[in-house]
Structure 1
Amino acid sequence: MMRLFLLSSFIIIVSSTRWADYDVLSAHGKVFKALPWTPQELLHVSSLHSRAEYHKLMRFIKDKLIESGDDLSPRDRELIERFLVSKRPPRVVDNLFDEDEKQSIDHYHSRGDVTDVLSIWSHALQRLPEKAREDTVAYLTSSD
């Protein structure tokens, strides 16, 4: 119950802002700031995140690690790799949204409409069986 409250609080806080006002590289303890990102790549990261396509997001980040080669310090590389291993989402997240919902999320995300994106998330979470919902909310509200 406490995690659901935390998620609700997060939704309220996030919905009071716009995607454009949020520095995506400040998330997760700024662990990804060490990678060289283009503005288009950051939009892609944000889009994958908004659709809960974490498997694609993790693959994209792994590709960035390979691409960065020796430009990334061993410490930064290790932090990112450790994050990717420790932050695997529950399996249920892989199918959280259907294709129509993903299209709606893309539409709202492209307009910077956080409230409508989070509304779709809320409905998707409510559809889940209780245990799956609890696991998903625990994952979403876990600390960096």
Structure 2
Amino acid sequence: MYRILLIFFFATLCSAQEEPDILSAHGGVFRALDWTNEELAEISALHTTASHHKLMQYVAKKLSRSDIDEISRRRIEKFLKLKRPPKYLETFLSESDRKQLLQYHAAGDFHKYAVLLFERIFELPKSKAIGALRYFGHNFEADTLENAECYECAVSRLAERLAR
């Protein structure tokens, strides 16, 4: 029950955020590359479906074919190295989940999108769920759960506090 409340909190948090311009994300590090509309659509789809491992490969391939200045190249390479997703995030969503995420995103239903994403995160073992939260930028919540003596109790308390 409390996991459901926590999932709804995260869903509300995510749905309240505006979707940023794709090339402004991550400090604009990817602006140096010359993107086509088709490539940007593919990036959006990979990001939407939390297919970050495929997204990293896609960007690395684009970078290898691009003639950009050395400083920009190093910035992108550094980003790709530092932001590499944990291996288990490659498979925490099924293909069916990924298709559903695309549908929710296309329909603008960010609440259902976030609910599905966080349901799958909390199906992971504790350490992997905490790692996933950190990877997706929810560090406070990850810290709260990681430092708790009782993980389930912490999920319950966090859900109660955030539901207010």
TM-score range, shorter chain: 0.7 to 0.9
Q: Percent identity over the alignment?
A: 33
**RMSD value, Cα:** 2.2
- Counterpart Cα distance in 1 of 2:120 and 2:13: 19
1:133 aligns with 2:129: yes
Against the structure 1 CA distance between its residues 18 and 107, is the aligned structure 2 distance closer, same or farther, given a 3 Å change threshold? farther
Letter in 1 for 2:84: R
Is the 1:52–1:96 contact (alpha carbons within 8 Å) kept by the matching residues of 2?
no
| 1:29-81 per-position Cα deviation (integer Å, ceiling 9, x unaligned) | 11111111122221211111121211211111012112222xx1110000001
Please name the residue that 1:23 is paired with.
21
- Counterpart Cα distance in 2 of 1:12 and 1:26: 23
CA offset at residue 112 of structure 1?
Answer: 3.3
Please name the residue that 1:41 is paired with.
39
- Counterpart Cα distance in 1 of 2:16 and 2:48: 16
Please name the residue that 2:61 is paired with.
63
Question: TM-score with structure 1 length normalisation?
Answer: 0.80
Q: How does 1:48-87 map to 2 (within 5 A)?
A: 48-69=46-67, 72-87=68-83
CA offset at residue 128 of structure 1?
Answer: 1.0
Runs of 4+ more than 3 Å apart: 11-14
Letter in 1 for 2:15: S
Letter in 2 for 1:48: L
Is the 1:18–1:113 contact (alpha carbons within 8 Å) kept by the matching residues of 2?
no
**Residue segments in structure 1 that go unaligned for 5+ positions in a row:** none
Is the 1:26–1:33 contact (alpha carbons within 8 Å) kept by the matching residues of 2?
yes
Letter in 2 for 1:24: I
Question: TM-score with structure 2 length normalisation?
Answer: 0.71
Deviates more, 1:55-64 or 1:106-115: 106-115
Deviates more, 1:128-137 or 1:113-122: 113-122
Larger helix percent: 1
Against the structure 1 CA distance between its residues 44 and 113, is the aligned structure 2 distance closer, same or farther, given a 3 Å change threshold? farther
Higher Rg: 2
Is the 2:22–2:44 contact (alpha carbons within 8 Å) kept by the matching residues of 1?
yes
**Residue 105 of structure 1, aligned match among 101, 108, 112:** 101
Deviates more, 1:93-102 or 1:35-44: 35-44
Is the 2:49–2:99 contact (alpha carbons within 8 Å) kept by the matching residues of 1?
no
| 1:5-31 per-position Cα deviation (integer Å, ceiling 9, x unaligned) | 9xx56x545413565xx3011111111
Number of corresponding residues: 132
